[in-house]
């Protein structure tokens, strides 16, 4: 489990579920990290949860497919299941421009 903490002005809280070091997991982490740095550089908190290490966390959030991105804050909670390569769709879900 890795966490990228940001300053107190954090407004966007994200949790990304991945499965180990699979290519789609690594791609999702890289894509989301780049997107957040470009569009929410000081206003995001990204937690990466490896389902192989923490299956209980995934079960508690109802995650069965990876990658799955859960936007926790601001409300409403939203999910994106699958690849995060469609930047426009991800930004729309996260409330970005």
pLDDT in the model for residue 95 = 82
pLDDT in the model for residue 3 = 58
In whole angstroms, give the CA distance from residue 7 to residue 59.
29
User: Residue 13 belongs to what domain range?
Assistant: 2-94
- pLDDT of 94 over the 60 cut: yes
pLDDT in the model for residue 1 = 59
pLDDT in the model for residue 8 = 45
pLDDT in the model for residue 85 = 86
How many structural domains are present in the chain? 1
- pLDDT of 7 over the 80 cut: no
Mean pLDDT of the chain: 88
pLDDT in the model for residue 6 = 47
Number of neighbouring beta carbons within 10 Å of residue 46:
22
User: The CATH number of the domain where 29 resides is what?
Assistant: 3.40.30.10
First to last CA, the chain: 29
| pLDDT above 90 coverage of the chain, percent | 72
Instruction: Give the model confidence (pLDDT) of 66-84 as tens digits.
Output: 999 999 999 999 999 998 8
């Amino acid at each position: 489990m890795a966490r990228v903490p940001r300053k107190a002005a954090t407004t966007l809280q994200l949790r990304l579920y991945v499965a180990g070091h699979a290519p789609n997991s690594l791609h999702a982490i890289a894509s989301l990290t780049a997107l957040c740095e470009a569009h929410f550089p000081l206003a995001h908190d990204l937690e990466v949860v490896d389902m192989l290490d923490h299956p209980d966390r995934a079960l508690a959030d109802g995650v069965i497919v990876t990658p799955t991105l859960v936007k926790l804050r601001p409300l409403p909670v939203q999910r994106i299941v699958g690849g995060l390569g469609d930047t426009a769709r991800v930004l729309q879900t996260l409330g970005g421009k």
